[in-house]
């Protein structure tokens, strides 16, 4: 019952948060220069044709009226239609969002596998050589642009060594993709028992996931290191040492108290990477939701941008709800 009440209190804030996000996004998107009617009809369009399309798209109304119309359509599950793909935005995002989630999830998993062990190891021995490497790596990873690292990895592992497939999409052009079930090619290939498609999809995942993992391991490393150092130097850890408790128990208790900070930075990175992986998607022609939204911005196709923001917001809020439950599991006192 305490967990249900705890979740209920968190869910109360989701609707106003989404409304605020949609409002701000709508105003920002509408401030982007460019007339979609002109782009749709071409440079030879007459003023009468442009005005007619404005009326058809509802662009002849004021901003508050346009926003109200968008909210009414949104309540019926209509996110609008992209004039670039001529398809409903909801269908486009359902098709493309799993590609972004696949890339971001694997990249973040690699970041955790790199950052957390390095952070723990450097916290145990602050003056050791491993701590020096961790400090250098943490600073370097935070200063490198992800698209630059992606290009370097492509040059080394594809152009020079030929160890990975060409950075063009999610699967080789000569291989038929597996039947879509989850939208994640590696999972769909496993479900279909298509090992050739699985090897191809996994090979295409290596470099983009490695790029995101190497870049985002830095913040996780620094947070893990600083949190563990603080916990190991705290009064309760010193008291446990003085009492003669085994070192593994001291470390275990310190790690338990440091976990909320580590979980927080991981959750923030997860939500950030949904939109932050856009440049990596473009470099590798990934075809995910982020690349779809960027094309919408460049072509004044507003509905894909708003749909992507809404999808990302819902996903981020879901991640934060899961993080709240993890906090509750680590320390049930926070529910009071």
26-35, 97-106, 163-172: least confidently modelled range: 26-35
Q: Which of 101-105, 188-192, 319-323 has the lowest mean pLDDT?
A: 319-323
Q: What is the pLDDT of residue 113?
A: 94
pLDDT over 90 (residue 190): yes
**pLDDT value of position 260:** 84
For residues 262 and 219, is the Cβ–Cβ distance under 8 A?
no
What residues contact residue 169 under an 8 Å CB cut-off, 6+ apart?
A: 204, 284, 285, 286, 287
Predicted local distance difference test score (pLDDT) of residue 153: 94
Query: Is the pLDDT assigned to residue 333 strictly greater than 70?
Result: no
Q: How far apart are CA 297 and CA 294, in angstroms?
A: 5
In this predicted structure, what is the pLDDT of residue 336?
53
Mean residue pLDDT of the chain comes to: 85
User: Rounded to a whole number, what is the distance in angstroms from the first to the last CA of the chain?
Assistant: 13
Q: What is the largest distance, in Å, between two alpha-carbon atoms of the chain? A: 86
Residue among 157, 13, 168, 96 nearest 312 (CA): 96
Q: What pLDDT is stored for residue 120 in this prediction?
A: 86
User: What are the structure tokens assigned to 251, written together?
Assistant: 């470390």
Tell me which CATH code domain 97-298 carries: 1.10.3720.10
Q: Enumerate the domain spans of the chain.
A: 97-298
| pLDDT band with cut points at 50, 70 and 90 for residue 101 | very high
Q: Taking residues 136-147, what's their average pLDDT? A: 82
Q: Which of 39, 140, 131 lies closest to 84, judged by CA?
A: 39
Mean pLDDT across the stretch 223-234?
A: 87
Residue with tokens 């208790």: 253
Q: What is the mean pLDDT of residues 89-97?
A: 91
Task: Look at residue 121 in the predicted model and tell me its pLDDT.
Answer: 83
Torsion of CA 12, 17, 19, 23, to 10 degrees: 170
Q: Which pLDDT score, from 0 to 100, does residue 200 have?
A: 92
Instruction: List residues bridging with 88 in a β-sheet.
Output: 81
């Amino acid at each position: 019952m305490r967990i249900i009440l705890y979740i209920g209190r968190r869910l109360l804030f989701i609707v106003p948060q989404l409304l605020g996000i949609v409002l701000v996004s709508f105003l920002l998107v509408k401030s982007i220069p460019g007339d979609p009617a002109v782009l749709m009809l071409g440079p030879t369009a007459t003023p009468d044709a442009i005005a007619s399309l404005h009326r058809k798209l509802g662009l002849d109304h004021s901003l508050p009226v346009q926003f109200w119309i968008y909210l009414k359509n949104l309540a019926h599950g209509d996110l609008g239609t992209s004039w670039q793909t001529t398809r409903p935005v909801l269908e486009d995002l359902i098709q493309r969002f799993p590609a972004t989630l696949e890339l971001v999830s694997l990249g973040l998993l690699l970041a955790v596998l790199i950052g957390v062990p390095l952070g723990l190891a450097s916290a145990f021995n602050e003056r050791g050589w491993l701590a020096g490497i961790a400090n250098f790596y943490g600073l370097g990873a935070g200063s490198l642009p992800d698209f630059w690292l992606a290009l370097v990895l492509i040059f080394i592992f594809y152009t020079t060594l030929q160890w990975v497939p060409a950075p063009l999409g999610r699967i080789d052009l000569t291989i038929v993709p597996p039947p879509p079930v989850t939208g994640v090619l590696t999972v769909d290939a496993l479900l279909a028992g298509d090992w050739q498609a699985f090897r191809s999809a996994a090979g295409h995942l290596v470099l983009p996931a490695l790029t995101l993992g190497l870049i985002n391991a830095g913040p996780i490393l620094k947070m893990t290191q600083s949190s563990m150092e603080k916990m190991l130097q705290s009064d309760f850890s010193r008291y446990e040492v003085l009492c003669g408790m085994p070192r593994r128990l001291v470390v275990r208790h310190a790690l338990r108290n440091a976990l909320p900070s580590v979980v927080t930075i991981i959750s923030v990175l997860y939500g950030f990477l949904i939109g932050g992986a856009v440049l990596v998607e473009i470099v590798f022609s990934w075809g995910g939701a982020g690349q779809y939204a960027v094309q919408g911005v460049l072509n004044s196709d507003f509905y894909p941008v708003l749909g992507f923001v809404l999808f990302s917001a819902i996903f981020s809020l879901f991640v934060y709800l899961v993080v709240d439950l993890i906090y509750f599991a680590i320390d049930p006192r926070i529910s009071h």
